[in-house]
A and B are shown apart, each in its own frame.
Chain A
Amino acid sequence: MAPMAVVQTNPEEILKKYLWDQSKFGVEEATAISRAFHNSIRARVRQKFEASGLEWKDFVFGDRNCLLTEKDFADVEAQLLATGYRFDVSATISAKEAPEKHKPLKGQHELEINTEVKDGRIQVGVGDNTVTLPQSIKGEALYVHTTDEVMALVMEGVPPGRIAIIDDSGGTLTAPILEQFAAVICMGGSVRSHLSILCREYGIPCFMNAKIGGINNGDPLEMNCAAPAKSALDCQKGIERTAEIWKLV
C-alpha cells in the first residue's frame, strides 16, 4: 500500500514534532567533526522528509529511495573536505589509501624534559605501570610505528633486550613480534587496553599512556617497574599514578 501523504499545513511544526534535533538545552556535539557531520545529516533528513510528503512513520523505515543514501553521506564528507578540513589518522591504511583526505601523520609528541643528570640517568618520561615488579628493567629503545616496520622485524627478528616504544594500544599491530620485546612503552591507551592485557599475559613489563621526550632509537633506557600499578579504580577516580622512564647516560 502506498504511504499516505501528510496533510498538515505547517511544515515547521511537523519537523519539530518528528525530529529530535532541537533540545531545549541547545546542546551540540562536543567534537567538531561530529557536530559538522551531524548538522549536515540532520539538515538533509529535514529536506528529504519535507520533500517526501510522507508521515514520519512511513518515512523513517519506508521507501529506501526517500531515505538518505550512500551518496548523501559521501556528499556530507565531501562538503567538509571542501572547506580544507583533513581527517586525523588512526589506522595507517587510511592515510595510505587516501592521503588527500588526511592530515600528515604526526611526529611523536615530545615531552619537555629536564636534562639534569641524577644517579647517571635523565628522566625522559612517565607511564602507567601495568604490573608492579620487584625491580626496574633496562633495555634499548626501539620505536615501532608501522606495519612495514613490524614486517621487517618479523623477517629479521627483534634483537634481544629491546624496549619497544609503540603509539598503538591495540593488540594486533605488533602481534607477530610482541613476545620478543624485553618491555613495552605505549604512548596511548590505558592499563586495560589490549596491548596492556597481552603484555600482562606474556609477562612483559609495560607502561601505558606514556609521555616521553628526548628518546632516540638505540638509547639505553630504564623503566621503574617497581612503581605501583595503576588500577581500574584509579582510572575511574582520575587518580594519577605514574612510573618513571629514565635514559641512562
Chain B
Amino acid sequence: MGSNVAKKTVTYAQLLETNNLLQINSDESYWLCVTRTTQESKLFPVSPYMMLSYANAFYRWPELLRKIESRMSMEECGDRARNMGTKTNTLTMGWTLPNFYLLGREWLINMGMLRPEDAVDDVIYVMDCWKRMQLSYHRNDGHLSNSQFGHRSQLMPERQLQVFEADLHSVAAGDPLHVASSKFMATVSQYQFLSHCECRIGICNQGPYAFGEGQELIVRDFMDLGVGDYPWLDGVADKFLFNNLTVPMVVKDTHFELMDDWGSFESKPEFRAENIVRIGLYTSDLLTDTYLPVAMESVESLTAKFNELTQLIAEANQVLWKKVAGWSRAEMLEAGALVYYNILKDVAHIAGVYEQSDWMEIDERAARFIPLLNDEYGRDVLTELVGLLTLPSQVTNDYTLCMHGNKNGRMYSPIPYTILDTGDYTPTSGPMGKGSSLFKKQTGWRTSRGLLSQDEYNKAVREFTPFACSPEARYIDDNWVRFHTTDPAVQTLYKKTQAHSPRLANKGAGLKRDDINRLRKG
C-alpha cells in the first residue's frame, strides 16, 4: 500500500452493521419515493434545493452531530424527544438524518467527487447516531423505525395516552368544535407547507393507538409555527404564542393501516374529518415538562381557540405568501435548502448548543454546486437517485432483486469491506467550511418561556431537565410500571404528566382504561 493508507480503526463488525443500516434506509426510501412522484412546485425550485441541502448535510452534519454529542448523547436526546412534539421526530430523525446525508454522499459518488471508501468514519458515525437516537426515541414500541414496526409508531408512554384519553373533548361532525378543529388543521397544514418552502417537515403524525370500541388515536404535531430558526417568519409569525401545537384526535370507523417514516398515514377507509370523535390541543417544547393543554377547559374555550388560531394563521399565510412570491430564485433555492438541511437543528436545541450559523447557512463546499442546479437537472438527478435507481453507483449485478420493485438497484453504496485489508479510505470530510446566507435573523425564538435570544434559549435548555429525563425517572418504562405502580418515582412521574389534566390531576400510576372512562363520565 502507498502512503495513503489510513489508520486502521474500522472493524468488520462496524462495517457489517453500518452497511446494514445503509441498506435498511435504501429499501425503505425507495418504497417511500416510488409511491410518490417527485414533488415539484411552480413557486419553489424544489428538486434543486433538495440536492443543495443533501450536499450541505454531507459536508456539515458529521461535525454538528459531534458538537451535539459533546454535550448530550443521541440516546438522551431521544429520551427528551419522546416526551414532546418537536422536530426531533419520526420524519426528521427517523428518516432524514440518515437519508439526506446518504443522498448527498451518493450524489457526490456519481459525480466522481467521492468514493464509497471516503469519509468512512463519518458514515459510520452518522448511522450510529441515527441508530442510537431511534432506538431511544422508539423505546416504547421497541423498534428502530416505523417501517421496522410494519409502519406504525407507538412512541408515547401509557401515562401520556391516559391524559389524552381522559381529557380530549367529544365532537360530532358538523358541531362547532368539529368545524373549528377541521378548519384549523387544514389551515395550519397549508401554512406549514408554505413556511417550510413546500416541504412537509412542519407536520408529523404518530400512532395509531388503540382507544377502545374500534377507535384509534392519531397524534398530529405542527412544529415551528412561530418566530424561531427561520428568518422569513420574523415579521410574519410574531403574534404566534406557541411554536409547537399538538392535536391528538380519536377517529371512529377508520383503521390507520400505515404510518410511514415520513409521518404520513394511510387508512381504510380513507380518513375523513367527519369520523373524528374526540379532539384536543396541546403545546410543548424543550422547556416544558410535559404536553401543556391549550384552552382545553371546555368545548367552548377550545372551539374559540381553534377559531382564533385559524384566523391568525390564515392572516400569516397571506403575508408570507406575498413575501415569498417576491423572492428571487436564489432566495427560494437557499430557503428551501436550509429548511431541508437544518432538519436536525432541534437536536442542537435539545443539547443547548444551537447556533444559527451552524444550521442556517450554506457551506462553501455545497454552495459551489449552485450553478448546476437548474430545475431540469434537479428534477432528473433526484428522480434517478431516489426513484429510478439508475445512477451508475446504484445499478447492481444482474442477479439481484431489490426489496421493493424487483429491480437490480440499491439507493446507497455500501462501504467496501476491502478497506479492512487495504486501509485505503479517508475517515472524514473534515471541518465545516465557511458558510453564508441571504437571510438575516432579526428577532428571537418563541418558547414556552416567551421570546428568548439564542444565548438565553441555549442557557435555559441547558439548565432544564424534564422530570421524565431526570436520574430518578429516565429508565422507568411502561413494562416495569405494570408491576411497580406504588413506587414513589413512578407515582411522581405519572403525577407530573397529569399535573395539567382536569380529570387525572394527582391520580397517579394505578389507573386502567375503565377508571379513566369512569372519570370521564363522572
Contact = CB atoms under 8 A, between A and B. Distances in A.
Interface of A: 4, 6-8, 18-21, 23, 25, 27-34, 37-38, 41-42, 45-46, 55-58, 60-61, 64, 67-70, 72-74, 76-77, 87-94, 97, 101-102, 130-132, 145-147, 150-151, 154, 167-173, 175-176, 178-179, 188-190, 192-194, 197-198, 200-203, 209, 229, 231-232, 235-236
Given A175-B191, A201-B186, 13 more contacts: A28-B392, A32-B380, A34-B384, A38-B110, A90-B41, A131-B272, A150-B325, A170-B42, A173-B41, A189-B39, A192-B36, A198-B190, A201-B189
10 contacts: A32-B380, A33-B380, A38-B110, A38-B111, A41-B111, A64-B433, A90-B376, A94-B45, A176-B321, A201-B189
B47 interface: yes
B13 interface: no
A25 B426 CA distance: 26
Interface stretch (B363-371, B477-485, B512-520): B363-371
Contacts of A88: 375-376, 379
Given A27-B390, A45-B113, A168-B42, A235 B34 contact: yes
A194 B193 contact: yes
A50 B56 CA distance: 26
Contacts of B430: 61
A64 B45 contact: no
Given A175-B317, A176-B321, A69 B368 contact: yes
A27 B390 CA distance: 8
A35 to B, nearest CB: 9
Contacts of A67: 113, 365
Interface in B458-491: none
A176 B42 contact: no
Interface residues of B, number: 90
Listed residue (A29, A34, A202, A236) with the most chain B CB atoms within 10 angstroms of its CB: A34
A54 B264 CA distance: 48
A97 B41 contact: no
Contacts of B375: 87-91, 94, 102
Contacts of B191: 175
B116 interface: yes
Contacts of B182: 201, 203
Nearest to A199: B186
Given A89-B375, A101-B374, A190-B37, A171 B111 contact: no
Nearest to A14: B2
A207 to B, nearest CB: 14
Of all A-B residue pairs in the complex, the 10 with the closest CB atoms, nearest first, are A170-B41, A171-B193, A42-B112, A31-B380, A90-B375, A201-B186, A30-B390, A88-B376, A168-B42, A74-B371
A67 B108 CA distance: 13
Interface stretch (B75-83, B194-202, B449-457, B501-509): B194-202
Nearest to A76: B372
A172 B324 contact: yes
Interface string B355-389: 00000000011011111101111111101100010
A46 B193 CA distance: 41
B329 to A, nearest CB: 5
